Structure 1
């Protein structure tokens, strides 16, 4: 199984806009509409898998024929959720942009160190209210609409979504559209011993009960507006640093006063046969030396393996598509970059809608003809919320869909 690696950190070059008209939002909308509605590329070919499964091989005649009528797969990153009030990594106010020394938590550190887990859960405790209150934005709603746009008996313009994000927004915005959460999700915690999952909102309540002083501190920050503002400058002015994975860094705070609970199932059993005993204090907080029942967020941490089922699901979605559109991602993590490489190797047109540079993007567009109007490849540095909603309206006009028809986000939807 692939290991989640530290992101590509070299400076990314400025993008080559394709076609040149995509330098503006209206131009990007027109070019992206052409990209999404063009006939499938005649160069589509099956992936050269070393050991293809007979049931899922893209080389079968039936699979090849189905692929000629397949829709677009959308691969999203942190940039798509910025309009929801969450930070990204490489944008003007991104974590890596503003904090050159930022270093994420590694799986091995979290699993082995009680001290590291205290630090992680303290920061997550402070950051959870912001994530829990955030909602999908217009870009998520536009993808939902694209998944519902049909012409005759054909499927939607978008056939599925692969997301690097852990905010669960895609599942909320379009529950009927197949979505692979490549790096997991923050809506649950998972026990490293018994592998059971637990609701993150309920876990937040358990953390609050174990940490009354921290709960009061969180209440003060909420009352001051430090966590409600979506302006990164305001948050920094108040001494806060918020990261895309939902945690908050408060300089000068002693995280080692924070306490966290064990897996309730392993605690009830006294431990786990493979991992040892669960040790807690009188209040039920984990103590130093406890070996089993460690709860971690249900995300893929750096240094942790991406589950094989998730990896296979993402690859199968790519292998069944006719084109790939990347939205809000610099492809800095190898797990995402390799999927675009896989699509390119199969002759798929690649589209990228991202405000900054993208890792290795020149290889995805090196064979684009000079007269490309978007059908052979698309690249724009406009924001997704400036392009995707307008794209939906343009495609509705082209397909004769009534203006009032909508498959966007339902009001009040939450993670």
Structure 2
């Protein structure tokens, strides 16, 4: 079981009162829905974006790849694939933590109806959870933006390695990559992006779609891109079938997820939020329980 606290922000100790309120919240529900954000994966060694001191925005001012930039500029795609190629193994090797595993247990008990996740790391799947709706896609597939061609990321990594065999075996580049590995691992991002030397980026090669020669991209929603309307409607339908909603590890800053919070409140569904730090929903009016603490400290103390 994974447990890595280097990306977990400073947190408050969960009080007995908080636990009692959340336990009562869950006991009253016949069918829960859960939304998860980057905060649930920090104990698996993946950072979030917005947390104070340890989040990527606060540490480096980093901003993820923009969809328009990726489409318009070859150099942007080259930079993305080069960095993502070297960052992939770190993300791929992450394992679910106790919070992921506990949600799987909740689902198998029949208490949990559906999980909607903002994360692209597939740690819920590794934990054995079923019926996970991935709002922002996942890193485990690569797709063409012009046709329906898709390829697994694991196979795509092999193709990238073969196309860049000379780079990977260049003694000078390989030495500098190895020397910087510890630094690079500290800059890993939730989307698998990682800082690397410019020589590697500028020489990196990547394929076009084998079917239509279109642009290949990871099957994730880049910033500036839109979530497919069909998926939005599916999530609404699944949430409507549940009688209450819990958010684990999301600041709810992006509207793609916040809209479902607004809908739940409009439908007068009970809402609970477990997150370190403030969220976009903190000032909303309604039946909202907010617990500002580390997820694993809370979720493992709940009886289902």
Shorter chain as denominator, the TM-score bin is 0.7 to 0.9
Q: Is the 8 A contact 2:14 2:297 kept in 1?
A: no
Q: CA deviation at 1:219?
A: 6.7
SS at match of 1:262: coil
Q: CA deviation at 1:221?
A: 8.0
Structure 1 pair 360–318 and aligned structure 2 pair: CA distance change class (3 A): same
| Alignment counterpart, residue 143 of structure 1, candidates 100, 103, 106 | 103
Q: In structure 2, what is the equivalent of residue 179 of structure 1?
A: 132
Structure 1 pair 383–132 and aligned structure 2 pair: CA distance change class (3 A): same
1:165 equivalenced with 2:126 (yes/no): no
1:359 equivalenced with 2:270 (yes/no): no
Bigger radius of gyration: 1
Q: In structure 1, what is the equivalent of residue 48 of structure 2?
A: 88
Q: CA deviation at 1:28?
A: 3.5
The residue correspondences of 1:218-237 to structure 2 (distance < 5 A) are 226=181, 235-236=182-183
Q: In structure 2, what is the equivalent of residue 379 of structure 1?
A: 290
Q: CA deviation at 1:122?
A: 0.6
Offset from partner CA, 1:108-133 (integer Å, 9 cap, x none) = 22122211110000110111000111
1:260 equivalenced with 2:220 (yes/no): no
SS at match of 1:255: helix
Tell me the C-alpha RMSD between the 2 structures. 2.5
Structure 1 pair 78–221 and aligned structure 2 pair: CA distance change class (3 A): farther
Q: Is the 8 A contact 1:190 1:297 kept in 2?
A: yes
Q: CA deviation at 1:250?
A: 2.6
Equivalent-residue separation in structure 2 for 1:140 and 1:198 (angstroms)? 26
Give every structure 1 segment of 4 or more consecutive aligned residues whose post-TM-superposition deviation is greater than 4 Å.
Answer: 216-225, 251-254
Unaligned 5+ segments in structure 2 are 1-10
The residue correspondences of 1:161-310 to structure 2 (distance < 5 A) are 161-175=115-129, 177-216=130-169, 226=181, 235-236=182-183, 241-250=187-196, 252-253=198-199, 255-264=201-210, 266=211, 272=212, 292-310=213-231
Q: CA deviation at 1:225?
A: 9.1
Unaligned 5+ segments in structure 1 are 1-14, 16-21, 40-68, 150-155, 227-234, 267-271, 273-291, 368-375, 396-415
Equivalent-residue separation in structure 2 for 1:23 and 1:137 (angstroms)? 19
Q: What's the TM-score, normalizing by structure 1?
A: 0.65
Q: In structure 1, what is the equivalent of residue 19 of structure 2?
A: 29
Equivalent-residue separation in structure 1 for 2:249 and 2:199 (angstroms)? 33
Single out whichever of 199-208 and 299-308 deviates more from structure 2.
299-308
Structure possessing the higher relative contact order (Cα contacts under 8 Å, 6 or more residues apart): 1
Q: In structure 1, what is the equivalent of residue 6 of structure 2?
A: none
